[in-house]
Every structure is written in C-alpha cells, then in structure tokens.
Amino acid sequence: QQPVQSPQAVILREGEDAVINCSSSKALYSVHWYRQKHGEAPVFLMILLKGGEQKGHEKISASFNEKKQQSSLYLTASQLSYSGTYFCGTEKAGNQFYFGTGTSLTVIP
C-alpha cells in the first residue's frame, strides 16, 4: 500500500531540472511532499488536493493527477540546498498515513 516513487536516486548538477514521481495502487485523496536532509527530520513542502491542481514552493512545484493516482514533483534550476531525500505521502481512510519509498536527490556543483 506504500506509494512507489521513481527514480530511487538522481544526481544533478546545479541549475538542472528534475522530476520525481509518486504513484499509488490505491486511490489518492491528497498528496503530501516532504524533504529530508541527511541526519535531519523530514520537512513539509506542500500538500496537493484532488482536482489536478499544481502548487508551487520557491522553484519547486508539483502536480496531482487523481485519475492516474499519480503525483509529480518538479525541481527547476536546482540548487545545492535541494539535496536530500524526497518523500510523497498520502492518507488512508481512518487517518492512517503512508509515506512513499523515497527518492534521493544529490545536487553537485
């Protein structure tokens, strides 16, 4: 039931773009995105509600396609500070919460 993320890992040079995908075999009611830097706690990025809306946070944006049960996180003009592991997450009926498998992003100079 855990959402599956792809790719598992990606290495970028500063200024390059990246896309991280999150897909679920179950219906998604909303999608949450978090970033975790090495040795730190996860930090919230954004929540997307059903309706195909796209939200943004600095140069990071995301889309949510509820029909395809997928969400994508877009990182444009990546900076060194974007390095970390990105997790998508979603709730299940009963307020249980599932995080995805995670995507490790490394930005190099």
Partner 1 sequence: EAQVTQNPRYLITVTGKKLTVTCSQNMNHEYMSWYRQDPGLGLRQIYYSMNVEVTDKGDVPEGYKVSRKEKRNFPLILESPSPNQTSLYFCASSLSGTPPDTQYFGPGTRLTVL
**Binding site residues, partner 1, CB under 8 A:** 1-2, 29-30, 32, 34, 40-44, 47, 87, 89, 91, 94-102
Distance CA 55, CA 33 (A): 11
Using the minimum distance from each CB to partner 1, give the nearer residue, 84 or 100: 100
CB nearer to partner 1: give 39 or 109.
39
Complex with partner 1: residue 47 or 80, whichever CB lies closer: 47
Q: Which two tokens stand for residue 53?
A: 């809306």
Closest approach of partner 1 to the CB of residue 104, in Å: 11
DSSP 29: S
Q: Which residues of 58-75 are buried (b: 16+ CB within 10 A; e: fewer)?
A: eebbbbbbbeebbbbbeb
